[in-house]
A = this chain, B = another copy of it.
Amino acid sequence: MEYRKIKGDDDEDDHDAASDLESLKGKSHTVASSNIALATLGGERTNWKRKGVVTCALTILTSSQAILIVWSKRAGKYEYSVTTANFLVETLKCALSLLALTRIWKNDGVTDDNRLSTTYDEVKVFPIPAALYLFKNLLQYYIFAYVDAPGYQILKNLNIISTGVLYRIILKKKLSEIQWAGFILLCCGCTTAQLNSNSDRVLQTSLPGWIMAIIMALLSGFAGVYTEAIIKKRPSRNINVQNFWLYVFGMAFNAVAIVIQDFDAVTNKGFFHGYSFITVVMILNHALSGIAVSMVMKYADNIVKVYSTSVAMLLTAVVSVFLFNFHLSLAFFLGSTVVSVSVYLHSAGKLR
């Protein structure tokens, strides 16, 4: 789009060049290449801006997510069925994508890139991430037989490494050695920041516990990387259409989860039992975060997503100092410094 627009402004030059093609071949070439350079520059700047906006949105939404969870626990309201809330999150995301699409159709008209109708070839891969997430969430209930909740929080940092490895293998994108160093540090820094006096218990995790934690990290990493692969496969396809289809299958799989896990509670106490104002705010926040994740996948990548959510984790702790009188540990300061250096290394280590 940017390219066409800037090229349009220079139409006159193009005409001149065409009218005296032989003598001006040199000039025409210069003009064309300067057009492309300008277009690339403009396009890159827009890309960077868009990338920055979606990354910031994801960071802010993720950190407020964690704060809302603490808040809802403080308020003692956590008796609703999580599966129904997840279903509503998917539904809301679906509705928001449709809303965005109707606006786009009104402004630009329906094109091949933004029409909702799809082919089997395009849609067949969309259920896979939703299925992977469902499978991972079900496993989550079993891992607690081997690891306690704080231990699981620590083991979840394995997601960082699994995402990096699968990003390299599946998307075949290269990270420089410095960036890999940064990625290992990100994992160490996040874990360090979460250390407390009970953390050492995680070292006593049994072999089946470790295996499950690694499988869950791989499932989560694979779901993320696979979503990026689906979204990036058709770069010109409108992200709202891609989201719509992702979320439709999200709704379907979460409906299955309601039946498996909360059928009795929902039929006896009703779909919305235990909902409160804060539950609604959390659902809204999760829906927006979910859309931000998709946007980051489209305009940036899984690595940016991991950095963004990790920085969000640190931001949450800092904000909690003011909101909940939270005390920051020495481990938190050390971990945060390591994460900050890691963010620097990711940008300093860019492959040219």
How many residues does chain A have at the interface if contact means C-beta atoms less than 8 Å apart?
28
Decide: A192 and B341 in contact? CB cutoff 8 A: no
Please report the C-alpha to C-alpha distance between residue A189 and residue B185 in the assembled complex, in whole angstroms: 10
Q: Which residues of B contact A184 (CB under 8 A)?
A: 337, 341
Decide: A331 and B331 in contact? CB cutoff 8 A: yes
Q: Which residues of B contact A329 (CB under 8 A)?
A: 200, 203
Residues A169-207 near B (CB distance < 8 A): 177-178, 181, 184-185, 188-189, 191-192, 195, 197, 199-200, 202-203
Residues A50-71 near B (CB distance < 8 A): none
Please report the C-alpha to C-alpha distance between residue A197 and residue B331 in the assembled complex, in whole angstroms: 10
A345 in contact (CB, < 8 A): yes
Decide: B202 and A330 in contact? CB cutoff 8 A: yes
Chain A 327-345 per-residue mask, 1 if CB under 8 angstroms from chain B, else 0? 0011100110110010011
- The minimal Cβ–Cβ distance linking A213 to chain B, given in whole angstroms, is 14
A18 in contact (CB, < 8 A): no
Q: Which residues of B contact A181 (CB under 8 A)?
A: 341, 344-345, 348
* CB contact between A345 and one of B178, B199, B334 (< 8 Å): that residue: B178
Q: Which residues of B contact A200 (CB under 8 A)?
A: 329-331
Please report the C-alpha to C-alpha distance between residue A195 and residue B333 in the assembled complex, in whole angstroms: 12
Q: Which residues of B contact A197 (CB under 8 A)?
A: 197
Please report the C-alpha to C-alpha distance between residue A189 and residue B299 in the assembled complex, in whole angstroms: 34
Q: Which residues of B contact A199 (CB under 8 A)?
A: 330-331
Please report the C-alpha to C-alpha distance between residue A191 and residue B335 in the assembled complex, in whole angstroms: 11
Decide: A195 and B331 in contact? CB cutoff 8 A: yes
Q: Which residues of B contact A192 (CB under 8 A)?
A: 192, 331, 334-335, 338
Decide: A334 and B188 in contact? CB cutoff 8 A: yes
Q: A185-B341, A197-B197, A341-B185 are in contact. Are A191 and B348 (CB under 8 A)?
A: no
Please report the C-alpha to C-alpha distance between residue A335 and residue B337 in the assembled complex, in whole angstroms: 13
Residues A306-352 near B (CB distance < 8 A): 329-331, 334-335, 337-338, 341, 344-345, 348-349
Decide: A177 and B348 in contact? CB cutoff 8 A: yes
Q: A181-B345, A344-B181, A345-B178 are in contact. Are A203 and B330 (CB under 8 A)?
A: yes
Chain A residues in contact with chain B, CB under 8 A?
Answer: 154, 177-178, 181, 184-185, 188-189, 191-192, 195, 197, 199-200, 202-203, 329-331, 334-335, 337-338, 341, 344-345, 348-349
Which 4 interchain pairs have the tightest Cβ spacing? A197-B197, A188-B334, A181-B341, A192-B334
